[in-house]
């Protein structure tokens, strides 16, 4: 710790500390990515080619899903319009190169946060929007009840994913001699499993639920085994080199999570501006102006919530028990309800 005596003897240090403290209170400058987005008039978002519940387009080309809502929230924040998004469908092997090349601003495509990806691919993960784990799907008629019963089985898996590596590790660790049948695309993997080419299908458990609901002739003919063989924290990422935009995307996600904790919804966000709760007022920009610290205006979080609702609403609408996927909240519940969703405070 720097003491007073040291500061007296080293006036240059005192000046440096004062300058640093002054800088901390200054509004943030807009980064080059934000400038480009505003100039372009749209946010470029990389999503899955088709994974209902996370990112998928309907017959009119309208995109929906949990990952899609993240990009809509960011567009509402920085462009004041959630519809100003250009969607770029990407398969697993394309996604990182397209982000690195600057063809998209955000990759929001059910992507697992790992050390290797975070440290070596020129990108930053901005947070976790879905806590998942790798599972297995089998036909009900196979009567397989656990992943450790897959000894010698053929298992469909997509290349270029953490899924493929996890499957090999699980097989070796349990001496199962599983035979991976590897495909380049999600579509090819789906087709192979449902045509009977593989005895099982492995990917994130949420992905299995999505695939079963969309692709199976009768979803009840297929069972997702209870075993999870990995941790798969899924979330959006941005390119390295623009700390300002990294902070914006990160804090938009945090604001949506904290909005749920404090009961701010898409329906009540306007009336909550007159709340007596100082935290609510701060989030909505009705008291303090936190936006200036991000290079935004004071209603940055208000616009995100108004556009897509809070995190709980996004979850329920896209993947929760009332959606077609019917996934339980589980680990994705708020921290004070037994889950892992814990946002740093917007303050």
Alpha-carbon dihedral 203, 65, 129, 265, rounded to 10 degrees: -150
Task: Please say whether the beta carbons of 157 and 189 come within 8 A.
Answer: yes
Same domain, 142 and 49: no
Q: Does the pLDDT value for residue 1 go beyond 80?
A: no
Q: Is residue 248 part of a domain?
A: yes
Instruction: Among 165, 199, 230, identify where a domain stops.
Output: 230
Q: Are residues 290 and 153 part of one domain?
A: no
The answer on pLDDT for 19 being more than 60 is no
Asked whether 7 and 13 are in contact (CB, 8 A), the reply is yes
Tens-place pLDDT, residues 37-50: 999 999 999 999 99
Among residues 229, 189, 212, the alpha carbon closest in space to that of 139 is found at 212
Q: Which residues pair with 224 in a beta bridge?
A: 137
Which residues have CB under 8 Å from 221's CB, separation 6+?
Answer: 139, 140, 141
The last residue of a domain, from among 189, 215, 230: 230
- End position of a domain, from candidates 181, 203, 230: 230
| Domain membership flag for residue 13 | no
Could you tell me if residue 306 is inside a domain?
yes
Predicted confidence band of residue 31 (pLDDT cuts 50, 70, 90): confident
**Integer Cα distance of 104 and 48 in angstroms:** 13
Question: Which single residue is written with the structure tokens 């909005």?
Answer: 259
Judge whether 11 lies within some domain. Answer: no
State how far the Cα of 18 lies from the Cα of 316, in Å rounded to an integer: 48
Burial of 156 (0-12, 13-18, 19+ CB in 10 A): buried
Is residue 24 domain-resident?
Answer: no
Q: Indicate whether 299 belongs to any domain.
A: yes
> Same domain, yes or no, for 256 and 320?
yes
**Selection from 300, 257, 264, 290 nearest residue 74 by Cα:** 300
Same domain, 89 and 216: no
Q: What is the mean pLDDT of the chain?
A: 93
Q: What angle do CA 80, 86, 88 make, to 5 degrees?
A: 145
Separation between Cα atoms, residue 61 and residue 69, nearest integer Å = 15
Same domain, 44 and 90: yes
| 179 and 127 part of one domain | no
Query: What is the per-residue pLDDT across 56-83, written as a single tens digit (0 to 9) for each?
Result: 999 999 999 999 999 999 999 999 999 9
Q: Are residues 319 and 269 in the same domain?
A: yes
The answer to the question of residue 166 being in a domain is yes
Number of domains in the chain: 2
**What would the pLDDT profile of 121-159 be if each residue is shown by its tens digit?**
999 999 999 999 999 999 999 999 999 999 999 999 999
Question: Between the CA of residue 236 and those of 3, 66, 107, 112, 254, what are the distances in Å?
Answer: 42, 11, 5, 9, 12
Tokens of 291: 């936006």
Pair 253, 303 in one domain: yes
Question: Tokens in use for 38?
Answer: 């505003």
**Would you state the structure tokens that stand for residue 73, as one six-digit string?**
């929230």
329 and 264 in one domain? Answer: yes
**Strands 200-204 and 134-139: what pairing?**
antiparallel
Domain check: are 62 and 195 in the same one? no
Query: What's the CATH number where 328 sits?
Result: 3.40.190.10
Residue 56, classed as helix, strand or coil, is strand
pLDDT per residue as tens digits for the range 298-339: 999 999 999 999 999 999 999 999 999 999 999 999 999 999
Same domain membership, residue 139 and residue 109: no
Q: pLDDT digits over 81-121, tens only?
A: 999 999 999 999 999 999 999 999 999 999 999 999 999 99
What is the domain range of residue 202? 134-230
Q: Identify whether 148 is part of a domain.
A: yes
pLDDT, one tens digit per residue, over 151-164 is 999 999 999 888 99
Distance CA 35, CA 65 (A): 27
Structure tokens at 35: 């400038």
Tell whether 150 and 263 lie within a shared domain: no
């Amino acid at each position: 710790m720097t003491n007073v005596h040291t500061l007296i003897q080293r006036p240059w240090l005192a000046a440096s500390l004062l300058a640093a403290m002054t800088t901390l209170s200054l509004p943030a400058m807009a980064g080059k990515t934000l400038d480009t987005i505003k100039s372009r008039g749209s946010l470029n978002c990389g999503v899955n080619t088709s994974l209902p519940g996370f990112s998928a387009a309907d017959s009119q080309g309208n995109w929906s899903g949990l990952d899609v809502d993240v990009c809509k929230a960011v567009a509402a924040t920085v462009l004041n319009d959630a519809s100003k998004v250009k969607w770029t469908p990407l398969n697993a092997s394309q996604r990182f190169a397209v982000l690195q090349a600057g063809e998209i601003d955000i990759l929001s495509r059910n992507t697992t946060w790992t050390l290797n990806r975070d440290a070596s691919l020129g990108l930053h993960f901005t947070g976790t929007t879905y806590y998942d784990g790798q599972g297995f799907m089998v036909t009900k008629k196979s009567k397989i009840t656990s992943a450790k019963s897959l000894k010698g089985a053929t298992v469909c898996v997509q290349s270029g994913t953490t899924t493929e590596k996890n499957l090999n590790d699980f097989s070796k660790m349990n001496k199962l001699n599983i035979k991976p049948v590897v495909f380049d695309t999600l579509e090819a993997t789906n087709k192979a499993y449902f045509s009977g080419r593989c005895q099982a299908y492995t990917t994130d458990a949420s992905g299995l639920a999505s695939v079963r609901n969309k692709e199976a002739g009768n979803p009840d003919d297929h069972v997702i085994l209870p075993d999870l063989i990995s941790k798969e924290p899924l979330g959006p990422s941005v390119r390295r080199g623009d700390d300002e935009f990294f902070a914006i995307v990160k804090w938009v996600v945090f604001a949506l999570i904290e909005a749920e904790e404090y009961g701010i919804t898409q329906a009540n966000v306007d009336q909550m501006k007159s709340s007596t709760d100082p935290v609510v007022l701060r989030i909505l920009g009705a008291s303090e102006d936190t936006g200036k610290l991000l290079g935004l205006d004071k209603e940055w979080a208000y616009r995100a919530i108004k556009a897509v609702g809070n995190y709980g609403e996004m979850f329920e609408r896209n993947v929760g028990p009332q959606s077609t996927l019917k996934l339980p909240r589980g680990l994705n519940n708020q921290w004070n309800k037994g889950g892992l969703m814990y946002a740093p405070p917007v303050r």
